[in-house]
Structures are given as C-alpha cells and as structure tokens.
C-alpha cells in the first residue's frame, strides 16, 4: 500500500513539473503584440452649406493597407452640440473607406472615424469648418491634383443611363487611364463594376443599366501609374 501511495505521489510531482515547463511556452505564444493600426481622415470636395462632400479615411496596420475592416463609421456632430450622426463607410480599395455627407449649416463640426479591424479599434478625429459663403480656401483636399467631373442622364427603372467622367490631372486631360464605374443600391452590400471607354480628351463613357428604382451610389475609379483617385456621388432612379 505504501508503494502505491509513493508511486501516486511521484506521478503527481511529474505531472506538475510538466505543466510548469509548458507554461513559459504558452506565455511566449500569447505575448505577441499586433502592430498598431492607424487611420487618417480627409474631406474631399468644397465645404459649403447644403453641398455633398466625401468623408474618407485610410486605414493602415504597419505598412499594410487594410481593406477588410470589420466596421468603419463616421461620427459627425456640430461643435458644442450633443446631437450626432453615425454614417457607415464603404471600402473603395487601397485601404480607403468613403461615405457621402452634407453639412447643412455653416459652422464648426467634429468628425470622428470609428475603425474596427483585426481586433483593434482606432478613432481619429478631425475638426471641420464649413464657411458661410464659398471661398478659395473652402476646398479641403489640396493633396490631389486630379479632378473628376461626372455626368449622367435621368434614368427610369428597366433602362440604362449614359455615364460620363471627364478627368484632368494638373488642369490637363488625363488620357489612357483605367476608369471604372462602381454602382450599388443604397443599403446593399453588392456592387457592380462597368469599365468606361475613353472618348478622347480625358472623357470616359459607358452605359449602365438599372433594373429597380431607388437611390444609387456611383463610385468613379480612376487609375494610371501613380494616380489612384475616387469620386462618389448619388443618383436617383425613378
């Protein structure tokens, strides 16, 4: 009987020793810290009361662009007020997430981007001033020299619309670019791409069909060499 007790005690000591020897390895595995995530906010378009602009955030983890964030929301509130809007942004590629927004009144606003991705959450904040009248300083995306002018004719459900994008770089027509129209119905997760055909002088065209009436978002994608630009707008299909 004593031998049985001694064997049992020795077995328990051996098991305890094995568990202790494994603990440092577990701690080493769990000690890995993910790279920090960064996000920056840009407002594209002229800030004027009642005019749509693009709220954009670019998300990076280390040197890698993040295109599969779990959620990206823009919080918009007027300075000094508690009322706020929460707007869901859509990924447009190259780590960028965008949503259209209209600042209805002049004044100072606080824009916060809530980014959740890869188990991390960041909240960059930007102060935006909407002037009472249009001015030269109202445009807040001076870092890009690309301009995109989009046009479409009125369309009814079951028909197609002529899409046209005129693209300039440094004030001159941008030719031989890769231009695509991305279209999705408001509230839908599914989007469709239509490649635009160049018509000369920086103009790109194609027809896009709409099966249902409703509000649609159109994202114009422009790529050429180092140029990678987007423009988002809203159209109504009757």
Give the pLDDT confidence of 149-201 residue by residue, as tens digits: 999 998 899 999 999 999 999 889 999 999 999 998 887 778 889 999 999 99
In a domain, 46, yes or no: yes
Mean pLDDT of the chain: 83
Residue 60 contacts residue 38 (beta carbons within 8 Å): yes
Q: Based on the domain organization, do 120 and 193 belong to the same domain?
A: no
> 137: pLDDT confidence band, cut at 50, 70 and 90?
very low
Sequence-separated (6 or more) residues with CB below 8 Å from residue 6: none
Which helix or strand (DSSP H or E) is residue 28 part of?
Answer: helix 2-30
In a domain, 22, yes or no: no
What CATH number is associated with residue 231? 2.60.40.730
Domain boundary among 108, 136, 164: 136
In a domain, 11, yes or no: no
Q: Based on the domain organization, do 204 and 185 belong to the same domain?
A: yes
- Encoded tokens for 178: 């890769």
Range of the domain at 131: 37-136
Sequence-separated (6 or more) residues with CB below 8 Å from residue 131: 47, 48, 106, 137, 138
Please count the structural domains in the chain.
2
What CATH number is associated with residue 70? 2.60.40.10
Distance (Å, rounded) from C-alpha 184 to C-alpha 206? 16
Q: Output 206 or 26, whichever has higher pLDDT.
A: 206
Domain boundary among 82, 117, 136: 136
3-state class percentages of the chain: helix first, strand second, coil last, to nearest 5: 15, 55, 30
Q: Based on the domain organization, do 132 and 52 belong to the same domain?
A: yes
Residue percentage of the chain with pLDDT more than 90:
49
Q: Based on the domain organization, do 119 and 154 belong to the same domain?
A: no
């Amino acid at each position: 009987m004593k031998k049985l007790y001694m064997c049992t005690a020795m077995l328990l000591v051996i098991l305890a020793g094995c568990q202790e020897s494994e603990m440092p390895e577990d701690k080493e595995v769990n000690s890995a810290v993910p790279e920090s995530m960064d996000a920056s906010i840009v407002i594209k378009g002229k800030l004027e009361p009642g005019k749509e602009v693009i709220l954009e955030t670019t998300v990076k983890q280390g040197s890698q662009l993040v295109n599969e964030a779990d959620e990206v929301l823009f919080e918009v509130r007027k300075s000094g007020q508690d009322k706020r809007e929460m707007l869901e942004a859509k990924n447009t590629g190259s780590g960028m997430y965008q949503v259209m927004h209209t600042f209805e009144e002049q004044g100072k606003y606080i824009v916060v981007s809530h980014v959740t991705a890869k188990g991390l959450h960041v909240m960059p904040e930007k102060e935006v001033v909407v002037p009472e009248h249009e001015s030269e300083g109202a445009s807040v995306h001076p870092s890009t020299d690309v301009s995109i002018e989009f046009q479409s004719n009125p369309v009814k459900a079951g028909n197609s619309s002529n899409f046209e994008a005129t693209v300039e770089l440094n004030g001159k027509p941008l030719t031989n670019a890769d231009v695509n129209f991305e279209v999705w119905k408001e509230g839908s997760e599914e989007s469709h791409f239509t490649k635009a055909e160049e018509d000369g002088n920086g103009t790109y065209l194609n027809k896009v069909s709409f099966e249902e009436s409703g509000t649609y978002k159109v994202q114009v994608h422009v790529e050429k060499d180092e140029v990678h630009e987007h423009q988002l707008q809203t159209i109504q299909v009757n």
